[in-house]
Amino acid sequence: MALVQNPILPGTYPDPSICRVGDDYYLVTSTFEYFPGLPVFHSRDLATWTQIGHVIDRDGMLDFDGIASSGGLYAPTIRHHDGLFWVVCTLVDRRDGAQDGGPSGNFIVTAADPAGPWSDPVWIDEGGIDPSLFFDDDGRAWMHGTRLAADPEWFHQTEVWLRELDVTSMRLTGPEHVLWTGALRGAVWAEGPHLYKIDGTYYLLAAEAGTEFHHAISVARAETVTGPYEGCKGNPVLTHRHLGRGEPVVGVGHADLVQGPDGSWWAVLLAMRTYGGYHYNLGRETHLVPVVWEDGWPVFAPGQGRVPTAVEVPFADAAAVRSAPQAVTGGPVLPGDVRWTTLRRPAALFATSHGDGWELRVRPETLTDPRTPSFLGLRQQHQDVDVSVRLTTDGLGVGEEAGLAIRQSEKDHVTFTATPSDGTVTVRATHTRGGVAHVLGEVTTTARGPLGLAIEARGQDYTLVLDDGTRRRIVAVADGRTLDTVAAGGFLGLWMGLYATSNGTPSAATVSFERVEYVPQ
């Protein structure tokens, strides 16, 4: 028996999907416009997780160019069938600022090894979002997903559709079936559907009410895969919306079920930890809850009815859990760390590693562009954390800057950068809010040698600190309450990372970053 802390994946790891193969569990989550996309995690006990790769990890697998923040890869599903791992997902690319490019919509990829390589995407001729796969025990495969209802009774009414999938041609075949429009009349976005066959009965699990405070998990069942489906009288079977906005965990939804080796049942799901008022800068995180079956229906978090802060997993070894590396260990973040992400295209486009640091080529793109600026980011996974780096600005030219950034979206972010000029270096903190930039503070230094820049997050205060080797100065404090999705919109938590730009002018400059550290407090 081991006590496992929630969330099991802290930081922006939303829309979790899970499958079990023998004694091994595999889990994927959404990544939107970040690259590489769809991280794959492995566990043998549901308690300790190791990232083993990404599904979308090659330039050109998908066209992300022009996809604005909170577009991109939505709600993947991972399943295992006939010796192959299958992932289905949606690429959403027609949001603010998106340009015409490659295909978008629902696609399938497969792999013999979940660590990769994964196949190139096969596009499915069906609209909507949040596709899922169900392999029945009669050998037939079914694809299902969510779309806006063709003839809605209320605003944003959605429906869950189902069609058979020919796994040889990778094409949908046969008639289409509409299975579900949600448990409650008037509820929006019955989404993230997953089908299961348990003891001869088909179960449809779905989230509804939108991925925010009112999010909820509902379930229906049927005698045949095509329905008709009856909803559980206890719907929603899990939500926190009735607990009020003062609850420390909100927005519970988007669950996927898995059975343990001892016959027990579990669900992974997303939820958000609020702090500093009703704000959730860490984004939608992956949590774990136990599930039991009563009267032919699943009961989530029995005896509690809410996502617990810790879960007892009977087949996990307590000593192993205590000694296992945490999801984030404080200290240097080396170039080979799988937590590094970029925007839309691979880091190799602008970054090379050297020792324990990076050299970034300065690009014209800025964080306001839905392109690929020179930005290497890490998810913020702790409410209180220090992110620091030492950088050398000797190679920068006029109008060029480099340093750290806190990113929510194109319209909402903070930059903390250095710009050299005539023997001095100006270090400036700028907060872009709603697309409008405001200078929070700046200082000038004549110190030679590398500069130390740090973001010290304490709750909703993001203190920006300069250490030029002679003294330590606070340049500004950014208000994190303006950076989460409550204030800024969208679906993402915060990323912190390295940033360099020439602000629209072509450049051949490079910047050296050393001793990047992420240290939870």
- State the Cα–Cα distance between residues 36 and 377, nearest whole angstrom: 12
List, in order, residues 6 or more apart from 503 with CB less than 8 Å away: 364, 366, 399, 400, 401
CB atoms within 10 A of CB 292: 13
CB atoms within 10 A of CB 25: 20
Are the CB atoms for 100 and 50 separated by under 8 Å? Answer: no
Measured CA angle at 68 (ends 67, 74), to 5 deg: 70
The residues carrying an active-site annotation are 15, 191
- State the Cα–Cα distance between residues 22 and 19, nearest whole angstrom: 10
Q: Which structure tokens are listed for 308?
A: 């617990």
> Can you list the positions of beta strands (E) in 249-350?
249-259, 265-273, 285-294, 297-300, 310-313, 331-332, 342-343
Are the CB atoms for 261 and 313 separated by under 8 Å? Answer: no
Smallest Cα–Cα separation from 364: which of 198, 461, 496, 502? 502
Query: Residue 509 corresponds to which amino acid?
Result: A
Q: Which structure tokens are listed for 309?
A: 């802060």
- State the Cα–Cα distance between residues 359 and 310, nearest whole angstrom: 41
Start-to-end C-alpha separation, the chain: 28
> Can you list the positions of beta strands (E) in 182-322?
191-198, 201-208, 216-222, 230-231, 238-239, 249-259, 265-273, 285-294, 297-300, 310-313
- State the Cα–Cα distance between residues 223 and 202, nearest whole angstrom: 6
Render the burial of 411-447: b for 16+ CB within 10 Å, e for the rest: bbbbbbbbbbeeeebebbbbbbbeeeeeebbeeebee
Query: Residue 100 corresponds to which amino acid?
Result: D
Query: Residue 286 corresponds to which amino acid?
Result: T
Are the CB atoms for 508 and 368 separated by under 8 Å? Answer: no
Q: The tokens 């978008």 sit on which residue?
A: 104
Measured CA angle at 493 (ends 488, 497), to 5 deg: 105
List, in order, residues 6 or more apart from 285 with CB less than 8 Å away: 7, 9, 10, 11, 12, 13, 14, 270, 271, 272, 273
